[in-house]
Amino acid sequence: MRLDDTVGDSYDNAMAESADGAYETELVWRRKLFADLAELELATFRWVSWWNSKRRHQSLGYRTPEQIETEYYASRLTIKGEQKSGHSNSPPNTTVKPRS
């Protein structure tokens, strides 16, 4: 098997190429030249921070990763609170076990 024929595994770098293309298009080619390497590094850091936290993702229902993470942890706190108090919004278990 040739490495360039694989899809969906560690040899498939389509996602990385997509992110690299977006980086070049959105940051590098849309602005004036960078004064020095430090300016490029800072701009890259800011772009990556935006890409990983603020950018709306189609696969997340056009929500940001921060929104998804906030919702996840809020739901985990609700579940833990229900477990501690013994209360739940779920209906009680009404399954009857057969006698042996």
The structural domains of the chain, with segments of one domain joined by +, span 36-81
Long-range contacts from 14-20, C-beta under 8 angstroms, 24+ separation = 19/51
Tokens of 28: 């590098």
User: Is pLDDT at 80 greater than 80 in this prediction?
Assistant: no
Integer Cα distance of 96 and 100 in angstroms: 12
What would the pLDDT profile of 5-58 be if each residue is shown by its tens digit? 666 666 667 767 777 778 888 787 777 888 999 998 998 899 888 888 888 988
The answer to whether the predicted template modeling score (pTM) of the entire model surpasses 0.85 is no
Integer Cα distance of 13 and 15 in angstroms: 5
Question: Would residue 86 be called left, alpha or beta, if left means φ above 0 and alpha means ψ between -120 and 50 degrees?
Answer: left
CA R_g for the chain:
23
